[in-house]
Amino acid sequence: MAREINIKKGLDIPLEGKAEGKPEPIKSELVGICPDDFPGYTWKCDVKPGDTVAKGSPLFHAKEAEGIKLVSPVAGSVEEIRRGERRKILAVTVKPGEDVYCQLNTDSLTEKLKLSGLWAMMRQRPFDVVPDDKTEPRDIFVTAFDSSPLAGNVIPTHIAEYLEPGLEALKKLTKGTVYLAVRPGQGLRTKAATVLDMIGPHPAGNPGVQIAAVAPVNKGETVWTVDAGTVARLGMLLKKGYCDYRAEVAITGPAALKPKKVLTEIGASLKDILKGELKEDESLRVISGNVLTGVKVDPETDFLRYPYRQITIIEEGDHADEFMGWASMNPKKFSIKRTFPAFLRGLEKPFNFDARLKGGHRAMILSGELDKVFPFDIYPEYLIKAMMAGDFDRMEKLGIYEVAPEDFALPEFVDTSKQELQKLTRESLERLRKDS
């Protein structure tokens, strides 16, 4: 019997450009894995340009736990090790060749997860980092849907059948409960996990919201979170002996010429994925991910970033010229506060958003506006002030262990003071983790 969880607070952002239909296969001529996508460890490179790698071969290992790997999603040759300031590794790129799979010579479930790169695709609360391999989780939360704007499928269709064996395997990693969060209309049911029917607007799909609704994380406890696509890959690894590293990606947004779904490799080159999808002579922002939590990328040189399932394209808006500016009464201007007459046409109808900030940074005031979209039993504004002050004791008392940066994405969207709340949360969690 599924447990029903009704989320009252939140907001579904009605963005134009939803991808529909079946995914179209696209072969990328280059893939790249970016170590910055996997926080919590220092990643050391295991390859050099010219090396031949198999599908699933290690590209990086964690300095603090050498058994944890980041692997190549394709077989081929290492093309480049891209570096930034102070020779920091930004990405390792691989040119695909013939399909050859890396053999995992271990019977240990934990070792299979680490060596296949799937361990690095999980996260732990507190701190929202790749899990500590020396700590057993109290519970494991698996999310089978994404409630963020224009999100695509969490479980790639071609490996959906392996979800059940993946869930069965996760049960061996905890003495607690494995939860599977779904939308009631998905029709997903399983005997391998406790099913949570999540009802309500975004951020109902965020693992933090699901954990807070069932069993919040307290100091000294560890909970793991993982998306159902990664669990399906684990199930395939256990059943077939190899892992499928392809991803079902939704190309979305009001500035996408043809919103659609594609099936391509994890870390695929955006140049290959977005061929024919970008408007010419337009100032566009390409985001790997959704508009709330995604990473701004260069469509010519960058790659599909973790969690590898969405690309959003919007206009920068730097040439926008509106009559009366911020005071415009344009009915196509979105506002949740009924400042503009858009609510008369209905806020559920799609809007053409762009990347403009529409206001400057200013002092934060306790207005209560963040609480309206923040479905935790936490006072968000007081927690933010504690993070700004670097007050660890107060942060702990106000619930810092329950949250991740993505949980403050909606508050950041509605925040009149234009504070970078996700960046602030990440920095505060990192300071707290190093101090603990």
pLDDT, tens only, 148-166: 999 999 999 999 999 999 9
Q: What does the alpha-carbon distance between residue 336 and residue 354 come to, in Å, rounded to a whole number?
A: 16
Question: DSSP 3-state assignment of 414?
Answer: helix
Predicted pLDDT at 1 = 65
Cut 0.85: pTM above it: yes
Asked if pLDDT for residue 294 goes beyond 90, the answer is yes
Predicted pLDDT at 296 = 97
Predicted pLDDT at 354 = 85
pLDDT digits (tens, 9 = 90+) for 165-222: 999 999 999 999 999 999 998 989 999 999 999 999 999 999 999 999 999 999 899 9
Tokens of 71: 């692997």
pLDDT digits (tens, 9 = 90+) for 352-368: 888 888 777 777 877 88
More confident residue, 116 or 105: 116
**Given pLDDT bands bounded at 50, 70 and 90, which one contains residue 351?**
confident
pLDDT digits (tens, 9 = 90+) for 46-82: 999 999 999 999 999 999 999 999 999 999 999 999 9
163 with 232: CB under 8 angstroms? Answer: yes
Q: 189-193 — which CB contacts under 8 Å span 24+ positions? A: 189/2, 190/163, 190/164, 192/164, 192/167, 192/168, 193/142, 193/167
Nearest of 224, 150, 229, 219 to residue 188 by alpha carbon? 229
Strands 89-96 and 31-33: antiparallel
CA 200 remoteness from chain centre: 19
- Burial of residue 150 (CB within 10 Å: 0-12, 13-18, 19+) is buried
Q: What does the alpha-carbon distance between residue 61 and residue 287 come to, in Å, rounded to a whole number?
A: 27
Predicted pLDDT at 320 = 66
Q: Rounded to whole angstroms, what are the CA distances from 355 to 15, 19, 279, 425?
A: 12, 20, 16, 22
Cα 385–Cα 387–Cα 392 angle in degrees, nearest 5: 120
Asked if pLDDT for residue 303 goes beyond 90, the answer is yes
148 with 293: CB under 8 angstroms? Answer: yes
Predicted pLDDT at 340 = 67
Mean pLDDT of 296-317: 95
Q: What does the alpha-carbon distance between residue 236 and residue 179 come to, in Å, rounded to a whole number?
A: 20
